[in-house]
């Protein structure tokens, strides 16, 4: 390029001479002079002879410079391309190494995971499984790979499992977590929590399904046990009071919605305290378990038997009329009478008092039903025990019993509020006698007007001192 510039500058001098010659020719044209024109022509020829070689030299140098520049650019481009390729290759190598390390870590985690892991096809076929899953299902890896998970799924969970696979394969869901049961090689059932994730690669229409399978058998058993204990009596295994109240509420709702009729029987064992006091609580517990079994044997499959506590049982007769419940209660009453409890060489006979209450569209709620059956049972005991009494709202005995319960509640309230007072009057004998005698009365002060009241038919006996 320096030679090209030097040649350009040399040519500039000749161009300046040419420019001066042209100006002289213009002036000679205005003042014709043959000798001057001849001299100008000679000068032009000299300039041309000098300038032509320089033009060729400049052109040649310029072409050489262009060639050199082209070669330099090609070389630079090639070096740049090689450098980019090298950098790309190095980046690719690092990326591949990172992928290999990540894949190695994944496989290591996959194989050494404490929970079961598997790759599953859209049709449920095992593609890869880890050792934890093999131990969980008690199959070898060769036995599992290539087979479908439906083969090891509990029959009741197959439909849900297939439905979940379809949702993941269609893209409807990206992951799904649900509980399902597997059948081990020895036939034992294991509860698992399954989390399946769908991973799609590029334009592949079928996703890869990765499953994480956690054994929750122990947790499930504990949950079932807690649920069982919350709704069952710990001694007899019958439904407990809380569960009976829930079932009663459902029965009341059913009666209101469909005008159906149900019956509740409240059963109280008459001689239970005698057995407890004579033989101890262990004997009483054994007797209660046996009585529970006796009652089970004389009930329909859909009848609900519960223990309310102590020696009190209850039976909910579903879709049963008053006549049907009285007939069924009579069978239970007779079965208890026929039952004989044996304990350490001694025999004990039992009887029961049973109260019945109806559940129909006019029943307020489950609590009312339970109270009505309890009231009817108390009336059966008051009538001499070993009887069956049907609760009737208009029954005079029921009204009398309710008044007595109201007086019991009122007397307890009066004791708490100190509204009871003692009154005494001297008894004078008609004939001479030694000592003094008094009649002592307990008076109740009314909370509203402050007057004293006395319960009808409940007058306490006289006290003699």
Same domain, 211 and 347: no
Task: Write down the pLDDT at residue 445.
Answer: 80
Residue whose C-alpha is closest to residue 272's, from 336, 316, 327, 223: 336
Asked if residue 174 is part of any domain, the answer here is yes
Is residue 151 located within the same domain as residue 119?
A: yes
**CATH code assigned at 129:** 3.30.450.20
Helices 322-338 & 281-297, crossing angle to 10 degrees? 130
Is residue 251 located within the same domain as residue 380?
yes
- Give backbone dihedrals phi and psi of 260, rounded to 5 degrees, phi first: -80, 170
CATH number of the domain encompassing residue 270: 3.30.70.270
What is the tally of structural domains in the chain? 4
β-partners of residue 153 are 182
pTM: 0.57
* Structural domain contains residue 180: yes
pLDDT of residue 448: 64
Residue at which a domain ends, from 163, 191, 223: 223
Whether the Cβ atoms of residue 305 and residue 315 lie closer than 8 Å to each other: yes
Q: Are residues 59 and 201 in the same domain?
A: no
SS3 per residue for the chain: CHHHHHHHHHHHHHHHHHHHHHHHHHHHHHCCCHHHHHHHHHHHHHHHHHHHHHHHHHHHHHHHHHHHHHHHHHHHHHHHHHHHHHHHHHHHHHHHHHHHHHHHHHHHHHHHCCCEEEEECCCCEEEEECHHHHHHHCCCHHHHCCCEHHHCECHHHHHHHHHHHHHHHCCCCCEEEEEEEEECCCCCEEEEEEEEEEECCCCCCCCEEEEEEEECHHHHHHHHHHHHHHHECCCCCCECHHHHHHHHHHHHHHHHHHCCCEEEEEEEECCHHHHHHHHCHHHHHHHHHHHHHHHHHCCCCCCEEEEEECCEEEEEECCCCHHHHHHHHHHHHHHHHHCEEEECCEEEECCEEEEEEEECCCCCCHHHHHHHHHHHHHHHHHCCCCCEEECCCCCHHHHHHHHHHHHHHHHHHHHHHCCEEEEEEEECCCCCCCCCEEEEEEEEECCCCCCEECCCCCCCCCCCC
Same domain, 122 and 74: no
272 and 366 within one domain: yes
- Tell me if 215 is assigned to some domain: yes
**Do 156 and 53 fall into the same domain?**
no
At residue 464, the pLDDT reads 34
**355 and 421 share one domain:** no
With the C-alpha atoms ordered 152, 155, 160, 166, is the resulting torsion angle positive or negative?
positive
Q: What are phi and psi of 172, to 5 degrees?
A: -65, -35
Q: Walk along the chain (465 residues) and give the pLDDT tens digit of each residue.
A: 676 677 666 667 767 777 777 777 666 666 656 776 677 677 777 777 777 777 777 777 778 878 888 888 999 999 999 999 999 998 888 888 887 777 667 666 677 777 888 888 888 889 888 888 898 899 998 999 989 888 999 999 988 888 888 888 888 888 888 899 999 999 999 999 988 888 877 666 778 888 888 999 998 888 888 888 999 999 999 999 999 999 999 999 999 999 899 999 999 998 788 888 888 889 999 999 999 999 999 999 899 999 998 899 999 999 999 999 999 999 999 999 999 988 888 888 889 999 999 999 988 898 999 999 998 998 888 888 888 999 887 655 555 555 666 677 778 888 888 888 888 888 888 887 777 888 888 888 876 655 555 544 444 333 333
Q: Answer yes or no: are the C-beta atoms of 213 and 133 closer than 8 Å.
A: yes
Same domain, 255 and 332: yes
Domain that holds residue 448: 417-453
Determine the angle formed by the axes of helices 272-279 and 281-297, rounding to 10 degrees.
Answer: 140
Q: Does residue 232 sit within a domain?
A: no
Structure tokens at 45: 């020829």
The last residue of one of the domains, among 194, 223, 252, is 223
Instruction: Identify whether 147 is part of a domain.
Output: yes
Domain end (from 200, 223, 246)? 223
**pLDDT of the residue at 254:** 92
- For residues 384 and 243, membership in a common domain is answered with yes
pLDDT at residue 458 in the model: 42
> Is 464 among the domain residues?
no
What residues have CB less than 8 Å from 62, skipping those under 6 apart?
4
Q: Check whether residue 388 and residue 439 sit in a common domain.
A: no
In a domain, 460, yes or no: no
| 314 plus 262 within the same structural domain | yes
459: in domain: no
| Nearest CA-CA partner of 376 in 394, 397, 358, 391 | 391
């Amino acid at each position: 390029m320096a030679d090209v510039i030097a040649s350009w500058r040399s040519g500039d001098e000749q161009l300046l001479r040419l420019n001066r010659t042209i100006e002289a020719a213009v002036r000679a044209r205005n003042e014709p002079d043959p000798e001057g024109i001849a001299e100008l022509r000679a000068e032009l020829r000299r300039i041309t002879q000098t300038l032509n070689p320089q033009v060729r030299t400049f052109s040649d140098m310029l072409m050489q410079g262009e060639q050199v520049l082209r070669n330099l650019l090609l070389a630079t481009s090639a070096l740049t391309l090689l450098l980019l390729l090298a950098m790309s290759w190095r980046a690719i190598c690092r990326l591949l190494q990172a992928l290999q390390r990540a894949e190695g870590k994944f496989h290591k985690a996959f194989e050494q995971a404490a929970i079961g892991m598997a790759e599953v096809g859209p049709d449920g076929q095992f593609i890869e499984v880890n050792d934890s899953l093999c131990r969980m299902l008690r199959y070898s890896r060769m036995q599992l790979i290539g087979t479908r998970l439906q083969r090891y799924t509990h029959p009741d969970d197959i439909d849900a499992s297939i439905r979940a696979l379809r949702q993941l394969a269609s893209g409807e869901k990206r992951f799904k977590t649900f509980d399902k049961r597997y059948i081990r090689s020895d036939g034992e059932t294991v509860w698992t929590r399954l989390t399946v994730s769908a991973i799609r690669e590029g334009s592949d229409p079928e996703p890869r399904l990765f499953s994480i399978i956690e054994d929750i058998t122990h947790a499930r058993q504990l949950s079932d046990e807690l649920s069982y204990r919350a709704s069952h009596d710990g001694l007899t295994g019958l439904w407990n009071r809380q569960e009976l109240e829930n079932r009663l509420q459902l029965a009341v709702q059913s009666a209101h919605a469909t005008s159906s009729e149900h019956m509740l029987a409240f059963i109280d064992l008459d001689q239970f305290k005698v057995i407890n006091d004579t033989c101890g609580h262990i004997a009483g517990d054994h007797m209660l378990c046996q009585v529970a079994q006796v009652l089970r044997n004389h009930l329909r499959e859909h009848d609900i038997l519960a223990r309310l506590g102590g020696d009190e049982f209850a039976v909910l007769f579903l879709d049963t009329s008053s006549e049907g419940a009285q007939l069924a209660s009579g069978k239970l009453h007779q079965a208890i009478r026929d039952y004989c409890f044996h304990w350490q060489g001694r025999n004990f006979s039992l009887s029961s008092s049973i109260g019945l209450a109806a559940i129909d569209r006019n029943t307020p709620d489950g609590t009312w039903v339970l109270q009505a059956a309890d009231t009817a049972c108390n009336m059966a005991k008051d009538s001499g025990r070993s009887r069956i009494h049907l609760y009737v709202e208009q029954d005079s005995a029921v009204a009398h019993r309710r008044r007595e319960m109201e007086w019991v509640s009122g007397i307890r309230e009066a004791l708490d509020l100190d509204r009871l007072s003692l009154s005494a009057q001297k008894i004078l004998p008609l004939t001479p006698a030694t000592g003094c005698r008094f009649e002592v009365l307990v008076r109740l002060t009314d909370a509203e007007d402050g007057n004293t009241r006395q319960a009808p038919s409940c007058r306490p006996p006289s006290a003699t001192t």
